[in-house]
Amino acid sequence: MRRRSISQVRRRDRMWRARSVRSRPRSRSGTTATFEVRVLRKDNDEDTLLWAPAVRSRPGLHKERFAMAERQKMKVKVCLVGEGAVGKTCLIRRFIHDQFDDRYISTLGAKVSKKEVVVASPRGDAEIAIDMTIWDIMGEKGFRELLKEAYFHGAQGILAVCDITRKDTLHELNDWIAAVNRVTGNIPVQFLANKADLRDQAKVTESDVRELADSHKSPFLFTSAKTGDNVEVGFVKLAEMIASRSA
């Protein structure tokens, strides 16, 4: 095979460069594909050059890679507390499976579910994947005092649930939160005024919920496990508070 001289190689490279720049083909995405030259090494003050297509990343690709690289992970335990039949189990079913079942089956002891949510870090420079272990606590006062150490230990957040058609369920939340805090210390609380689809039967007003939430310096939402209104928002907001506290 006949070896080419350096001048022939350089002449070929110049021709390739001319063709490449002149053609500027369109990529499938509609952006113009260009070519770039890269200096690989220097030999006796001579540059060895390589022509190659310039890589133009699609919009948002760098951001996606950055987010993936910067994503942190957390495991947290949260407890749903409140009187019996306020809809704690239905809220969890809606959040986990996006389903609703209006048959009431009393929770015996505690039922544990899991779901991952992704929230922004407190500084907003990364994402946090939070693996939530959700404890559905039986709504019986005697049970609460008997097994509070076992079921509340390690909790990092509380979803305090009342039924807007039963005003007593709102007032009882003070005792539920106090019972958890005696085991865990003060932890974030998100109040959920549930069964918002039954507003025409409501005995609890927004000002009632606001007053209780303000006394605990905590946010509140009106939710409906039946329609799904604000259910996911409530869980995610609690996750955000836990992440902020852990920063």
CA distances from 101 to 36, 90, 194 (A): 61, 7, 15
Quote the pLDDT of residue 12.
Answer: 52
Residues of CATH 3.40.50.300 domain(s) within the chain?
A: 68-246
**CA nearest to 155, candidates 181, 173, 119, 129:** 181
Are the CB atoms for 139 and 82 separated by under 8 Å? yes
* Architecture category of domain 68-246 in CATH: 3-Layer(aba) Sandwich (3.40)
Among 102, 91, 132, smallest CA distance to 221 is for: 91
H/E segment holding residue 96: helix 88-97
Tell if the pTM clears 0.75, that is, is over it.
no
The predicted structure's pLDDT at residue 105: 55
Residues of the chain where predicted confidence (pLDDT) is lower than 70: 1-70, 102-109, 144
Rg (CA), the chain: 30
Site of tokens 């992440």: 243
Q: Residues with Cβ < 8 Å from 188, sequence gap 6 or more?
A: 156, 157, 158, 218, 238, 241, 242, 245
What is the sign of the dihedral through the CA atoms of 35, 36, 40 and 45? positive
* Residue 88: predicted pLDDT: 96
For residue 88 the two structure tokens come to 């704690």
User: What are the distances in angstroms from CA 213 to CA 5, 30, 35, 46, 55?
Assistant: 83, 53, 61, 74, 53
Closest CA to 79 of 150, 169, 171, 166: 150
Angle at the Cα of 26 from the Cα atoms of 25 and 27, rounded to 5 degrees: 120
Whether 223 and 190 have beta carbons less than 8 Å apart is answered as no
pLDDT, position 53: 41
